[in-house]
Amino acid sequence: MGYCMSSSRSALKQQHIPKAVERLERGRQAAPQVFERLREAIISLDLTPGTTLSRTTLATQFGVSSTPIRDALMRLEEEGLVEVFPQHATVVSPINLTLASQAHFLRRSLELEIVRSLALAPEPRLIARLNGLLAQQQALMEAQDLEAFEAADQAFHRQLYKAAQMQDLWMLVRSRSGHIDRLRRLYLPTPGKIQGIVRHHKLIVQAIAEGKPDEAQKHLRDHLSGTLSHVDEISVQYPGYVRR
């Protein structure tokens, strides 16, 4: 399969799903929860490309039957996050650059129009909410809490969709973003990356608040251009993680 990772790490990943992934909520169907937790583990790289997912082991760890596991893995396969080899294995897929580029195009196209529409009719309450999220990001950046920062970053963009009454499109973008999100997770620790995200967010909010749609679009375009432009160095640093 061409995945480059140490045998000891691969063996560990085959046997262990993070505890946070295992807990299921009562009163909700199991399959969507298993899907959500496995998806987050894949995107956060707790489950790295090449990790073998045993249905039997997953069923035991989540405390469910094989049916919710099967349904969750089918949904992950639809998003291209796992590859199913019938009668053999289910494996976390490498990052697919074609799918990452498509997700980037979709998100950029939508968000350029969203920030433009918001800047054409600035709403003070929205600006206050965005500034609150910026303050949270600033604090997390200073604390170097990458996981929480990533969640705050997503919350910032989700707020833009909500303000434009485009929440369903946010869900569409999220369902297509598994590969680009994994690239971002790999690149996020790079020195200056988090600072650049915060700086771009501030410029976007400022342009919206001042009613400058062209500037808002410019800063958003700059903001979303970062990760894909560094694919070569990501591929060198994490061999076997990226499929061209």
CATH of span 7-93: 1.10.10.10
Which single residue is written with the structure tokens 């600072």? 195
> What's the pLDDT tens digit per position in 120-137?
999 999 999 999 999 999
The answer to whether the beta carbons of residues 179 and 96 sit under 8 Å apart is: yes
% of the chain surpassing 90 pLDDT: 81
Average pLDDT over residues 3-12: 34
> Does pTM top 0.75 for this prediction?
yes
> What's the pLDDT tens digit per position in 39-92?
999 999 999 999 999 999 999 999 999 999 999 999 999 999 999 988 778 999
Classify domain 96-232 at the CATH superfamily level. GntR ligand-binding domain-like (1.20.120.530)
Query: Is it the case that residue 11 has pLDDT exceeding 50?
Result: no
The answer to whether the beta carbons of residues 163 and 126 sit under 8 Å apart is: yes
User: With bands split at pLDDT 50, 70 and 90, how would you rate the model's confidence at 27?
Assistant: confident
The answer to whether the beta carbons of residues 113 and 158 sit under 8 Å apart is: no
Please give the helix or strand (H or E) that residue 106 lies within, else none: helix 97-120
Query: Is it the case that residue 17 has pLDDT exceeding 80?
Result: no
- What's the rounded Cα separation, in Å, for the pair 178 and 166? 20
Query: Is it the case that residue 3 has pLDDT exceeding 70?
Result: no
Domain ranges in the chain with CATH number 1.20.120.530: 96-232
Tell me, what's the pLDDT at 205? 98
- φ/ψ (deg, to 5) at 243: -110, 125
Domain ranges in the chain with CATH number 1.10.10.10: 7-93
